[in-house]
Amino acid sequence: MDLQENSDSATNSEAKNSQQKNGEQEKSEVKKSEVEKREKKESDRSAYHKSQSKNRPTGNREQRSGNYTKGGDNRNSNNKSSGKGNSPRDSKRGGRSKFAAATDKSLQECVAKNQKIHEARLNPNSKININNDAKIRITPLGGLGEIGGNITVFETEKEAILVDVGMSFPDEEMHGVDILVPDFTYVRQIKDKLVAIIITHGHEDHIGAVSYLFKEMQLPIYATALPLAMIANRFEEHHMQEFKKYFRPIEKRTIVKVGNDFDLEWMHMTHSIIDASSLAITTDAGTIIHTGDFKIDHTPVDGYTADLHRFAHYGERGVLCMLSDSTNSHNPGMTMSELSVAPALDRLYAKVKGRVFVSTFSSNVHRVYQAIEHGIKYGRKVCVIGRSMERNLELAMNYDYIKLPSSSFIEPHELGRYKDSEILIVTTGSQGEPNSALFRMSIGEHRHVKIKPTDTVILSARAIPGNEGSISKVVNHLQRAGAHVLHNVRDIHVSGHGAQEEQKLLIRLVQPKFFLPVHGEFNHIMKHKDTAISCGVQERNIYLMEDGDQIEVSARTMRKVRSVKTGKTYIDNQNNHTIENDIVLDRQSLATEGIVNIVAQVSKSDSRLIGHPRVSTFGIIANKQEHAFGNEIAGVLEQYMLNIKPGLIENSRAMENDLRGVVRKHIYRKTKKYPMIVPTLFVM
């Protein structure tokens, strides 16, 4: 697909049209959420602000009608639909001839000049040198059409970087597979061009596959401190400590030269993990903004807000292309601030007399911090249980991201010394993981903690799609043990990803010419596309990528040039080894279809069976019927040997294959199943 550039003239009448409102849009202005109202109050009421709000209804209207004119020019479509004469502006205009005498020419000119200024300001083309022939290629190798496994290649003529190298989780059919790592085939192909790995933040879906890549090749890793410290933990687990020498800790707000072709800036971003960043990637082709995972939290727990000034800086200079997080693109409004869970936690601690358990993602250090801080406030001692929870909390405290009094922490074996009302247990297992501390507590198998009826358990996390069943299981166990469980309660969890208004904010700040929604399944990126169109990005300048699509971007065009191989490598966590695809396929067929084992002796001289063959089956036929079934298969085998093709008996492998086909047909007729069939024929 070829995505042509936006011609300059297309945008000329747009700004003008966008100012026209109708009654419906006026209403939608009034119906703004509380968050927006508050924001409006806080922000300065400059002319800039007013002109921004003029543009806003355009998008709202677009989304309602869901109808875009050619080229995705939202502002034009608005023009057509707003000519009903019911907007205040239209009625004024209709009466213009009557009051013509009252119109001051210099003011008219002023309006015209400012309209031109708006047009220039809102036209992404005006800031990009379209005579620039340099190109950059963007290839996602994971993270699209799926949740997790984020890895993207950015490639110039001579050099390439990888942005994030994440893992994902298997579905239930991948038996014995613990994690999925992206297929590195393409990375191997361009190995000589690769100059660095760039990390946005420390979530597993962004760093989890780094150690597996490092087993094959080593590259400098550029990131802020926390993601590097988390990768260091992984390296230690894999006995690869020596690779820490590849770490390149970076400073935010500083341009870092990577290789010869890349200038990178890490821009601070708010998310459900601390020390997250967006990236500004500048090459000869121009600047690409990669949001990484984000929410726009104006009151983050540590006070470090998203560095929107840097986004605005790049937006003002002209941004060629933007890749943006689509996770919550179906959610209207704003995602609540992380700080908003505090009042709910506080209310709970004030009320609860027994022990309190808080379970959340161990990487969400600010959530853990808030749970602990409020626990301490109500005189509770904190017991942290669960390896990853302990490790991440320790990291965050060691590196000074959070401060908590060490005197407030107790060890699990000390719990007996305190009253229930003095205990807060912070633990992993919010996704119902069967080997987590919470799960073991829930079934009474934890060494130090047994659940009792006075306990309150707060699951402060959303279910990752696919985990609903296991969460339900742990909730059932906890409730059966008598605990009061708070799960899916709105105030005690907020998402780490921005909703539509936050996505719009970044698009408006950056004003990219080309837009690539990323981080989500197809429906998420498709919805994000609508949002981008409503914020002035041309529809033809948006591409919905799939893993393996190689997109070439230059000042004039964005197009898909080819597809590269992608996929997943299966990993067994017990030994950190790869599991080959055919093994997983075999396991799948064993699990769903069963297995038939046939052992027999065959006479070479007359192709007859010697003795009775042994037939054993698993997962096909009930035990009590197995004897009859075995006889039936033996009959098939006997028949087969009687009619065997001449010469086949000389080649026992070919004979077994042939027999397998015959038995398969028979079994399918009987059972409508395709079990694995393992014939072993001894030719005597």
Binding site for Zn ion (CB under 5 A): 203, 205, 293
Exposed, middle or buried by CB within 10 Å (0-12, 13-18, 19+), for 29? middle
Measured from the CB atom, the residue of 159 and 502 that comes closer to Zn ion is: 502
Minimum distance from residue 166 beta carbon to Zn ion (Å): 7
The Cβ-side half-sphere exposure at 224, using a 13 Å CA radius, reads 23
Alpha-carbon Rg for the chain, nearest whole angstrom, is: 31
Minimum distance from residue 588 beta carbon to Zn ion (Å): 28
Measured from the CB atom, the residue of 362 and 456 that comes closer to Zn ion is: 362
Minimum distance from residue 369 beta carbon to Zn ion (Å): 18
Where do the H-state alpha helices sit in 251-364?
308-317, 341-351
Give one DSSP letter per residue of 88-129, joined into a string. Answer: HHHHHHHTTTTTGGG--HHHHHHHHHHHHHHHHHH-GGGGS-
The SS3 of residue 635 is helix
Minimum distance from residue 294 beta carbon to Zn ion (Å): 9
Q: Given its phi and psi angles, is residue 176 left (phi above 0), alpha (psi -120 to 50 degrees) or beta?
A: left
Measured from the CB atom, the residue of 202 and 386 that comes closer to Zn ion is: 202
Measured from the CB atom, the residue of 118 and 524 that comes closer to Zn ion is: 524
Beta strands 595-602; 609-618: pairing state: antiparallel
Measured from the CB atom, the residue of 275 and 293 that comes closer to Zn ion is: 293
Minimum distance from residue 325 beta carbon to Zn ion (Å): 7
Measured from the CB atom, the residue of 200 and 283 that comes closer to Zn ion is: 200
The sheet carrying 676-683 orders its strands as: 609-618, 595-602, 676-683
Q: Which residues, 6+ apart, have CB-to-CB distance to 243 below 8 Å?
A: 214, 218, 235
Minimum distance from residue 399 beta carbon to Zn ion (Å): 19
Where do the H-state alpha helices sit in 378-489?
387-398, 437-442, 468-480
Minimum distance from residue 303 beta carbon to Zn ion (Å): 20
Minimum distance from residue 156 beta carbon to Zn ion (Å): 25
Minimum distance from residue 327 beta carbon to Zn ion (Å): 7
Measured from the CB atom, the residue of 230 and 415 that comes closer to Zn ion is: 230
* Location of structure tokens 């801080």: 373
Buried-state track 556-581, b at ≥16 Cβ within 10 A, e below 16? bebeeeeebebebbbbeeeeeeebee
Minimum distance from residue 677 beta carbon to Zn ion (Å): 43
Q: Which residues, 6+ apart, have CB-to-CB distance to 454 below 8 Å?
A: 353, 354, 355, 420, 482
Measured from the CB atom, the residue of 203 and 355 that comes closer to Zn ion is: 203
Rounded CA separation 312/322 (Å) = 13
Minimum distance from residue 496 beta carbon to Zn ion (Å): 6
Minimum distance from residue 144 beta carbon to Zn ion (Å): 12
Measured from the CB atom, the residue of 364 and 617 that comes closer to Zn ion is: 364
Measured from the CB atom, the residue of 77 and 200 that comes closer to Zn ion is: 200
Fill in the DSSP letter of residue 459.
E
Measured from the CB atom, the residue of 203 and 290 that comes closer to Zn ion is: 203
Cβ-contact 540, 135 below 8 angstroms: no
Beta bridge partners of 554: 135
Cβ-contact 425, 461 below 8 angstroms: no
Cβ-contact 73, 67 below 8 angstroms: no
Measured from the CB atom, the residue of 293 and 502 that comes closer to Zn ion is: 293
CB atoms within 10 A of CB 648: 15
Exposed, middle or buried by CB within 10 Å (0-12, 13-18, 19+), for 509? buried
Measured from the CB atom, the residue of 5 and 293 that comes closer to Zn ion is: 293
Minimum distance from residue 292 beta carbon to Zn ion (Å): 8
Rounded CA separation 54/472 (Å) = 47
Rounded CA separation 289/283 (Å) = 12
Cβ-contact 566, 364 below 8 angstroms: no
